Each structure stands twice: as C-alpha cells, then as structure tokens.
Homo-oligomer: A and B are copies of this chain.
Amino acid sequence: MAGPSLTIFFLSLLFFCAISEASKCSVKGLPEVRNISALPQSNYGRGGLAHTTVAGSLLHGLKEVEVWLQTFSPGSGTPIHRHSCEEVFVVLKGSGTLYLAPASHEKSPGKPQEFSIFANSTFHIPVNDAHQVRNTNEHEDLQVLVVISRPPVKVFTYENWFVPHAAAKLKFPYYWDEECLEDEPPPRDEL
C-alpha cells in the first residue's frame, strides 16, 4: 500500500503547489481580512529594504489605489525617482529625510529641498516630482506606509539630481509587480 499512498501524496502536493502558484497573483481565494504580518515580504535584492504590498492592484484586485508597508534600515532609502501618480507617506516608526525636487525645475530635478520626517508625520509627493526618502537616522529603522494612485507603479529613476528628466530610466514593472506583470508594453513618459 506504500506505492499508491505515496503517489496520492505527491499528486496532492503537486495539486496544492499548482494552486499556490496560480493564486500568487490572483485575487481569488484570499481572505477578506488579511494579517499584514503574514503577507509576503521581500527586499527584492535591494539592501536595507523590506517591502510588503498591503493592498495591491495585481495581488488584490485594486484598480485605483495601492498601499505598501516599507521598512528602511539605517542608511538605506529609495532611489531618486518620479512617477506619474500621487503618493502619500505616513511615517509609522523612526525618522529620516525627504528630498524633493519639483519636476518643473529646468530639464533635470536639480538640487532638492530637504525635509525632516519623523514618526507620526505625513507628506505627499506631487505627480512627477522627483524625490527620495532615506533613513538618515543611524540608530533605528524607518517604517512607512505608502499610498499610491494609478497602480501598478511606473518608476523613472535618476542616478543623481542633475540627470536630465529625459535620461531617467524606466523601471516597469517594479520589483514587487514583476512576477505578476510580465510582457506588458512600457508606459509612455509623461515629462
């Protein structure tokens, strides 16, 4: 009886693996209320980052908004980047610095303004303004909730603040959407 039992066991395993594979990017079968601590978390190969898609377009079927939980270890942060969607930050823990350069500055972002950010603070990034959020506090993690409109996000990154807007590099789909959104035509740059 060992043979058939083992076959059934492996067939079941295959079945459940197939379900889990299919549901990774599917809204079907997800519980309505989800424990954020139990959601997938990854650094997507970016040192110092822990990203969780709390409510996502590709993962959870949202079309107009998306919510992320991100933790940056001391010294880490986002790239300098812009996107043609609105973004709101709520700082849950830690502190750091927001660098913000209005997109209208000449042909490149230019020297950004610097703002201190802190636990229980909020700020938003206007559409297409180049910005960077960094954990500039060497003693603790910076944890933020991030809200974006027009998901999935299409990010243009800059190597520095003086790279022309036209030379910013498109990263689409972004790391956390890559598994669920392949072979999509790249979006048009709006700048």
Contacts and interface: CB of A to CB of B under 8 A. Distances in A.
Interface in A8-31: none
A98 interface: yes
27 contacts: A32-B98, A32-B115, A33-B98, A33-B118, A33-B123, A34-B122, A35-B120, A35-B121, A36-B120, A36-B122, A37-B120, A54-B88, A54-B90, A55-B88, A55-B122, A55-B124, A61-B126, A62-B86, A64-B65, A65-B88, A65-B148, A65-B149, A67-B88, A67-B122, A88-B147, A90-B145, A147-B147
Counting chain B CB atoms within 10 Å of each CB, the highest count among A62, A116, A147 belongs to A147
Interface in A53-92: 54-55, 60-65, 67, 85-86, 88, 90
Interface residues of A, number: 37
A117 interface: yes
Nearest to A54: B122
A interface SS class: strand
A37 B126 CA distance: 23
B34 A123 contact: yes
A93 interface: no
Given A54-B90, A88-B54, A90-B145, A116 B33 contact: yes
A117 B92 CA distance: 20
A106 B67 CA distance: 32
A119 to B, nearest CB: 9
Contacts of A62: 86, 88, 124
A23 to B, nearest CB: 17
Nearest to A66: B88
Contacts of A54: 88, 90, 122
B60 A124 contact: yes
